[in-house]
Amino acid sequence: MSQVTLRKKPIAGGKHSLFLDIYPPIPNQETGKLQRKYYLKIYIYTRPKNNLEKDHNKETLSLGEYIRAKRQLDVQNRRFDFLSDSKLRSKFIDYFEEEASKREGSHNWRMSINYFKAFAGEFLPFTHLNESFCEEYADFLLSSPGIGRARRKIKTNTEVSYFAKFKKTLKEAFKKRYLPIDLGHIVDSITPEDTHREFLFMHELEKMASAHCDSEIVKKAGLFSAMTGFRYSDVETLLWKELQGTDGNYYILYRQEKTDSAEYFPVSDQTVQLLGPVATPSPEFLKV
């Protein structure tokens, strides 16, 4: 087990700098390298000249001992977040934005951030995140707030989607040691609402295929959605590389926009033919 000891090192000006000596050394969460000494950036006088300097030494040593004891508990519990105070003080929304940027063009991720900002603002540090806060945010979404210009209330499954993205971000933050506990795993998800999905019979699809539409790409996207059941947001982000297989055995491997989950979906030859030749240079199936 690592032992944390409060030590001092002589510095200029007749003073000693206090630091923590942790043995055996533990990984620094910012650099990944093993580190033994952690300077506290506080000092004491080597030879105090008056009562003021003596009081300063006494209070500073007490503070150093308090920090040492706290760090000892952290090390025993393998909670090393104190090694990265800058992470703990950083804004959660910045990390949320970073996660969204990995899904460039995702409307759902952008809106999930907007709703979080409406609830918590833009300056919430990681240290303020806990189970109660997450539950309050879930309650906020369940109140079906409308934050756009139209003030249109969101539906239950939209609330589910936005909260799922918040939870996914919490899980990623825990993996990268921005959080001491896995809130994304602990906090309950919002329960989705069963919905009725409309469908078309084959003769209706045939009428749709033969009907006039000013935009060929819109018509193609509509038919593709009807034949696969894909949402508009999923159709819009599909890539050619996600279509795999051969005649009679085509399938799509893709990440569903609404749930952010990986999906395997078989598609018919007729649906593949609808897509036409591979678009170049763009890798997209459809761009509506």
In order, the DSSP letters of 187-240 are SPPPPPPP-------HHHHHHHHHS--S-HHHHHHHHHHHHH---HHHHHH-BG
Average pLDDT over residues 92-115: 89
Query: Which of 214, 271, 217 has its CA nearest to residue 247?
Result: 271
- C-alpha to C-alpha distance for 162 and 139, rounded to whole angstroms: 12
- Using the predicted structure, report yes or no on whether residue 63 has a pLDDT greater than 50: yes
CA 34 to chain centre: 27
Tens-place pLDDT, residues 208-248: 878 888 888 888 888 888 888 787 777 777 788 888 888 88
CA 163 to chain centre: 11
Average pLDDT over residues 126-151: 88
Query: Domain limits of the chain?
Result: 3-83, 90-186, 202-275
| Contact residues for 283 (Cβ-Cβ < 8 A; gap 6+) | 239, 240, 241
| DSSP structural state of residue 275 | H
Sign of the Cα pseudo-torsion (153, 154, 156, 160, in order): negative
3-state class (DSSP) for residue 41: strand
What number of other Cβ atoms are within 10 A of residue 233's Cβ?
Answer: 15
Please give the share of the chain, as a percent, with pLDDT higher than 90.
41
* pTM, rounded to two decimals: 0.49
- Of all helices (H) and strands (E), which one includes residue 260? none
Query: Which of 93, 68, 80 has its CA nearest to residue 33?
Result: 80
Confirm if 110 and 99 have CB atoms less than 8 A apart: no
Query: What is the model's pLDDT at position 233?
Result: 72
pLDDT band at 127 (very low <50, low <70, confident <90, very high): confident
Query: What is the model's pLDDT at position 257?
Result: 56
Residue count of the chain, please give it.
288
Q: Higher confidence at residue 96 or residue 287?
A: 96
Sign of the Cα pseudo-torsion (48, 52, 58, 64, in order): negative
Tens-place pLDDT, residues 171-186: 999 888 788 788 999 9
- C-alpha to C-alpha distance for 281 and 284, rounded to whole angstroms: 9
pLDDT band at 53 (very low <50, low <70, confident <90, very high): very high
Query: What is the model's pLDDT at position 83?
Result: 44
Beta 34-45 vs 249-255: how paired, if at all? unpaired
What number of other Cβ atoms are within 10 A of residue 218's Cβ?
Answer: 12
| Angle, CA 108 vertex, CA 106 and CA 113 arms, to 5° | 100
